[in-house]
Structure 1
Amino acid sequence: MVDPTDIGYFLVTHSHADHIGGLEEVMLRSRYIAHKKPALILEDDYRDTLWHESLRGGCAYNEVVDNRFLELEDFWQIERPCKRADLPRNAGELDLGTLNIKLIRTNHLPEQARTWQEAAYSVGILIDERIFFSGDTKFDPELLAELDQRFDLEAIFHDAQGFTGGLHASVEELSSLDKGLRSRVWLMHYGDDWYKHTAMIEWAGFAGFAAEYTYLDFD
């Protein structure tokens, strides 16, 4: 098992608990046990939402420093991506060691949001202009087509659910993608009833399921 204080960099795609639920533990253990600041990749337009609406209540009031309660920056070394107006959806970009990371806005929530501009903050991650990780998003074929046309994606890791509607793309919706694109899609974030959809998944020709404890090597 990996000790969370051994992880040097964190990237949050959005504020749902299954994506940020462990951050409070990371923050408190890093500050009071490991005595270090991990790095948090964070865009400026998400900073206040993440801190004030999710993390502040459990972390700010444990200590007073310089006559004030703690702030997000007391726990993290913030790494700020640079905005690129020439990239899709004004993406943020950051070089992390040998990796190039681009944060692409997605349309995840609320359900009523018709476009990514209307949606709350959520991002997918483009790695080395080769691999796209959707984070969480509703079905957004225009985004996938634009990224593939521009970067000729090698693989797409996409959240998938067994029914159409709500906040995630469904297996049925993803099956409507072009066959060449479907063959590079690895399904993730699927429900425990995934086996009920194996016939459609096999018919659609997806790359497969992203599975726990399974490593994929992209040289």
Structure 2
Amino acid sequence: MRTEKINIPLKLTSNGELVLHFIGTGSAFTKKNFQNNLIIIKGDNHLVVDFGTKASQGLFEKGVKTEDIEGYLITHTHADHIGSLEEAALLGRYFTKRKPDLIIPKILEKILWNNGLKAGIAFNEDPPLTLKDLFNIIYPRKVTKDRYGRLTYHIKYKGIDLLIFKTNHIPSNGSLSSSIWTSGIIIDERILFTADTKFDPELLETFDKFFNIELI
């Protein structure tokens, strides 16, 4: 594991190594550092994890066009994680004529569309558009809950192994089981990316038993 200074424009390919590039590191309300959204790059493939309100501009400043992004994974539906997804959908529909991939558990699909994207996108055409008109929806496979003690999904996307696990993000949520869907991911069984979550020692202890995590 090493850190490197990036070159501009950012390349969306690697020599086969796993590369993680943060579009930003700021909070939901940041004005300078963009938001905590991530690009996973491996070989000739890439995947964006969350695409918040500042993400499109963040990519632009790194020399990458939003329409060049091939796939997205959404951890939850707060604006700093989905705010630029409408732009990505519309660019694909009307400019590139190509639907990006969207990895999303079924549990989040209706929430993302009905409460996050529908108002700004659906009524640009008649009949109204749906999420599947705009993205190639890819559903990860549900993992038996007993294995990790929390709702978990798994997918291998273009050579990138992803374990998607439920987190407890909202401060007023008392328990994991009663909380809304927010998630983190384990990448290639090496990197634990929590996205947005409260401090959760049980999460860390559980996955430490199953994986040789190199970085959190």
TM-score by length of 2: 0.68
Q: How far is the alpha carbon of 1:115 from its aligned partner?
A: 1.9
The answer for the alignment partner of 2:181 in structure 1 is 121
Measured in 2, the distance between the counterparts of 1:45 and 1:4 equals: 26
Measured in 2, the distance between the counterparts of 1:95 and 1:83 equals: 13
Measured in 2, the distance between the counterparts of 1:150 and 1:47 equals: 28
Q: What secondary structure is seen at the aligned counterpart in 1 of 2:192?
A: strand
Q: How far is the alpha carbon of 1:118 from its aligned partner?
A: 1.3
Say which structure is richer in helix.
1
Q: State the Cα deviation string for residues 4-35 of structure 1 (Å, max 9, x = none).
A: 11111101111111110100100111100111
Measured in 1, the distance between the counterparts of 2:201 and 2:91 equals: 40
Q: How far is the alpha carbon of 1:130 from its aligned partner?
A: 1.1
Measured in 1, the distance between the counterparts of 2:182 and 2:151 equals: 13
Please give the residue correspondences for 1:34-45 in structure 2 after superposition, counting only pairs within 5 Å.
Answer: 34-45=96-107
Measured in 2, the distance between the counterparts of 1:145 and 1:52 equals: 35
1:61 is matched with which residue: 123, 127, 137?
A: 123
Measured in 1, the distance between the counterparts of 2:140 and 2:83 equals: 23
Measured in 2, the distance between the counterparts of 1:125 and 1:93 equals: 9
The answer for the alignment partner of 1:182 in structure 2 is none
Q: How far is the alpha carbon of 1:149 from its aligned partner?
A: 1.6
Q: Mark the structure with the bigger radius of gyration.
A: 1
TM-score by length of 1: 0.68
The answer for the alignment partner of 2:47 in structure 1 is none
2:167 is matched with which residue: 106, 110, 113?
A: 106
CA RMSD of superposed structures (Å): 1.0
The answer for the alignment partner of 1:93 in structure 2 is 154
Measured in 2, the distance between the counterparts of 1:63 and 1:3 equals: 25
Are residues 1:10 and 2:72 paired?
yes
Unaligned 5+ runs, structure 2: 1-62
Measured in 1, the distance between the counterparts of 2:158 and 2:83 equals: 27
